[in-house]
Amino acid sequence: MKARADPGFLTALIDDGRPLITLTAVALLLSGSFAIFLAARREFLPHDIAYLQMSAEQLCGLAQCRIVRFMFHDRVAFGGTLISIAAGMPRRAGRFRRRRRWRVWRGSDARSESTTSRATLTSSTWRQRLSVLRSSS
């Protein structure tokens, strides 16, 4: 049976995973930007207020507003972390494509070969160690 020449939408979307990684990077970028935006506007989210059971003004009355500043600082740090992760994801996605080409060009799956040799090396090493332990006792 022949393969279809026109791949479906889902197959084209998934392809080798890079479009989905890029989509995740965009979502992280938007989330981090929104977190920084909220911190710049000095706004609490509704679930922040519900959990603390006090408004920002009431919380600012405690400890000379240091708690509120720390909360905003924490939100900016979280947003910056999300943005930095998002910035590195497309670069990593490009590496996936290069590795795949290299494996096809080489004609074998490099990962399976290295795993096999590592497992063989590990089992032979353990056999040698067991034989030394048995001979010494």
Higher per-residue pLDDT: 53 or 107? 53
Highest mean pLDDT (candidates 8-12, 43-47, 78-82, 86-90): 78-82
2-46 pLDDT tens trace: 555 676 777 766 777 778 888 899 999 999 999 999 999 988 888
Segment 68-73 shows an average pLDDT of 92
Instruction: Show the 3-state SS of the chain.
Output: CCCCCCCCHHHHHHCCCHHHHHHHHHHHHHHHHHHHHHHHHCCCCHHHHHHHCCCHHHHHCCHHHHHHHHHHHHHHHHHHHHHHHHHHHHHHHHHHHHHHHHHHHHCCCHHHHHHHHHHHHHHHHHHHHHHHHHHHC
Q: What is the pTM of this model?
A: 0.59
